[in-house]
Amino acid sequence: MFDVLVYLYETYWRPDACPDHAQLTRKLTAVGFETDEIQEALSWLDGLASAGESLEQAAEAQGPLSVRVYMPHEIEHLGETSVGFIRFLENAGVLPAPMREMVIDRAMAIPGSPMDLEDLKIIVLMVFWSVGEEPDALILDELFVAPEDRLIH
């Protein structure tokens, strides 16, 4: 599923640039993705769209001094590394509370735990994509470049 999501991110600059599900399924099949993987990704994207619709409501409900307390089942599912990464993005000022909630919602929709950090990074990228925002260069570097491949200046 994550390969399909990355392909969509790289191919379509916004979610509304994607064709309807039927045409998109045909295109993804032609590229070589499996039907199950395509359906899983499209279902996940539908959930992302639903979460995005409630973005404004969540923004109004969150105050500037609000604190996110993770439930035990969220920590278990996400894993401490992923929770730490989400907190890093928040503290860096690049992941506002409503988008954080979208990330957590979509991560919780993925089976298996704890969540792989690389999969969480794709989810973060897809949340930015879904709201039509481009993460700044430093965040893109954090999302795509492996720590051992970074050059220290």
Q: What DSSP string runs through 47-59?
A: HHHHHHHTHHHHH
pTM of the model: 0.83
Domain residues of the chain, as ranges? 2-149
The predicted pLDDT at position 150 comes to 42
The per-residue pLDDT for range 85-105, each reduced to its tens digit, is 999 999 888 888 889 999 999
Q: Who's near 25: CB < 8 A, 6+ residues apart?
A: 35, 38, 39, 42
CA-CA distance, 85 to 107, in Å (whole number)? 13
**pLDDT, the chain, mean:** 84
Q: Which amino acid is residue 51, in one-letter code? A: A
The per-residue pLDDT for range 105-134, each reduced to its tens digit, is 999 999 888 999 999 999 999 999 888 887
The whole-angstrom distance between residue 59's C-alpha and the CA centroid of its chain comes to 18
The pair of structure tokens assigned to 140 is 């893109």
The predicted pLDDT at position 153 comes to 46
The predicted pLDDT at position 53 comes to 74
Mean pLDDT over 45-50 rounds to: 89
Asked whether the predicted pLDDT for residue 26 surpasses 90, the reply is yes
